[in-house]
Amino acid sequence: MIEMKNVSKWYGTFCVLNKCSTSVAKGEVVVVCGPSGSGKSTLIKCINGLEPFQEGSITFNDISVGDAKTNLSKLRSRIGMVFQNFELFPHISVIKNIMLGQEKVLGRTTEEAEKRGMELLHRVGLSEHAHKFPGQLSGGQQQRVAIARGLAMDPVAMLFDEPTSALDPEMINEVLDVMVELAKEGMTMMVVTHEMGFAKNVADRVIFMDEGRIEEDCTKEEFFSESRGERAQLFLSKILHH
Amino acid sequence: MNYNWDWGVLVTAPYFGWIISGLGWTLAVAACAWLIAFTLGSIIGIMRTTDNPVARSIGAGYVEVFRNIPLLVQMFLWYFIFPELLPEAWGTWVKRGIPLPEFWTAVVCLGTYTASRVAEQVRAGINAISLGQKQAAMAIGLAPMQVYRYILLPVSYRTIIPPMTSEFLGIFKNSSLALTIGVLELTAQTRQIEEYTFQGFEAFTAATILYITVTFIVMTAMAVVEKKMAIPGMISLGAK
């Protein structure tokens, strides 16, 4: 579904992505981890064209992301994305956040959009908060709304950029639960996260990045066994000891 | 000081009528100029935030030209120089063909000048929004125009209500410069009353009070608008 070949990106002379190649098949859950500044977020933002890249190619269902002729808005509407800081739109209510893309991009009627929105809010356990504003919800609730907003577009894949990093510890699980459920339903997912429990539980593959390079790209069994590289071992030993 | 106070002059015909008509023209110049300032200023401000380098430079060029020439000089440029630069028939039309040439010249001058200031407020309001908001809007598939229409502008216009209020008050007070090209607005009428009656203190006191009253009404109205438009749950220093 997602094919990435030799993707490189520079900010000025600083290389943030260095010849990254990987792929994500339909229904696969891929976790991307690695130290801060290793290019994880940049990598997944390249997939839906939020970040441009200078070299290499990315195709999503055989549509080239880097091609200037590609209608990026249309492509993005088919890939859900969840951000570290939720990024709900603060000036409209929760239900309107979920309806906006359905109405303005997919052309659904207000009734259809609201019905679908309420279904999804029910699913993430927030139907009673539909008419509140994002600023009136907790971080965990906001992130669940953000997931519902992504799902409302009926995406064929979901990208998660550190979805739990900005949350208080007690709110992390309510978000992870929703993500685990999605993964088990067969959603194609690419998840940047440090939640190794989530990776062990539902990931099919784990990608480990360091200094803009993909250092490991293997099944989770291989990744969590002793066969992984030195840099990944060091990283895991640091984050798993606490 | 030997001065014969006579407040009665203010309510005597024809002076009372002059004051009222002056206030009317002041409000008319300010309101029409504000329409130009708000519309054009928003477009220029938005242009400066786009990814298009041509749009950005046009916007930057506009702002630098219009905010760096003294307003009084701009008034004279529009009134005396601009018609001469046009083909002769057009120039004549601008000078004599349109109804109320002084009024419309003042409106265009104040509007285009204030647009440069409004543009900077709009640009600041948009740039104050985090990149993540724009990315989230793009990620659900909104086209660039829709990102502005549904996300960036509704939030940034709320942010800039206080400085935009200042800009409107500015255009209202700057409208007094229209007297230099012959618009009989409030300040012009006040001077005329002084010249006819030698009661300058009374006339200028009346003008001052009228200016302050209008600005006070605008300020109060905008404070209500700001409260009404506040986003529930958004905590900021100003939200107390």
Domain assignment of residue B239, yes or no = no
- Å between B239 CA and nearest CA of chain A: 13
Q: Is pLDDT above 80 for B238?
A: no
Q: Is pLDDT above 60 for B111?
A: yes
Q: How far apart are CA A179 and CA A9, in angstroms?
A: 29
Domain assignment of residue B1, yes or no = no
Q: Is pLDDT above 60 for B22?
A: yes
Distance of CA B19 to the CA centre of its chain: 22
- Interchain CB distance below 8 Å, A83 and B155: no
3-state secondary structure of B37: helix
Domain extent at residue B37 = 7-229
- Interchain CB distance below 8 Å, B231 and A133: yes
Domain assignment of residue B236, yes or no = no
Compare CB distances from B142 to A81, A105, A150 and report the shortest one's residue.
A105
Which of A73, A138, A165 to probe the B interface (max B CBs under 10 A)?
A: A73
Q: CB contact, 8 Å: A135 with chain B?
A: yes
Which residues in chain A (162-201) have CB-CB distances under 8 A to chain B? Answer: none
For residues B72-88, average pLDDT: 94
Identify the bridge partners of residue A159 per DSSP, sorted by sequence position. Answer: A81, A190
3-state secondary structure of B60: helix
Q: CB contact, 8 Å: A89 with chain B?
A: yes
Domain assignment of residue B69, yes or no = yes
What is the pLDDT, as a whole number, of residue B208?
96
Q: Which has the closest alpha carbon to B48: B112, B121, B104? A: B121
- Å between A71 CA and nearest CA of chain B: 10
The neighbour count for residue B46, using CB atoms within 10 Å, is 20
For residues B115-135, average pLDDT: 96
B239: pLDDT confidence band, cut at 50, 70 and 90?
Answer: low
Domain assignment of residue B105, yes or no = yes
Contact between residue B141 and residue A101 where contact means Cβ atoms under 8 Å apart: yes
For residues B209-238, average pLDDT: 89
The pLDDT tens digits for B172-195 are 999 999 999 999 999 999 999 999
- Interchain CB distance below 8 Å, B233 and A48: no
Q: How far apart are CA A155 and CA A48, in angstroms?
A: 12
Contact between residue B126 and residue B46 where contact means Cβ atoms under 8 Å apart: yes
DSSP state of A131: T
The pLDDT tens digits for B53-66 are 999 999 999 999 99
Interface pTM, i.e. ipTM: 0.92
Domain assignment of residue B237, yes or no = no
Q: How far apart are CA B140 and CA B107, in angstroms?
A: 42
Q: Phi/psi at A190 (nearest 5 deg)?
A: -125, 120
User: Which domain CATH number covers B92?
Assistant: 1.10.3720.10
Overall domain count for chain B: 1
What is the pLDDT, as a whole number, of residue A79?
95
Which of A65, A74, A76 to probe the B interface (max B CBs under 10 A)?
A: A76
Q: How far apart are CA B131 and CA B114, in angstroms?
A: 28
Query: Is the pTM for the entire model greater than 0.95?
Result: no
A74: pLDDT confidence band, cut at 50, 70 and 90?
Answer: very high
HSE-CB for A180 with a 13 A CA cutoff = 14
Domain assignment of residue B240, yes or no = no
Domain assignment of residue B131, yes or no = yes
What is the pLDDT, as a whole number, of residue B233?
83
Strands A2-11 and A55-60: antiparallel
Question: Residue B231: its chain A contacts at CB < 8 A?
Answer: 90-91, 133, 135
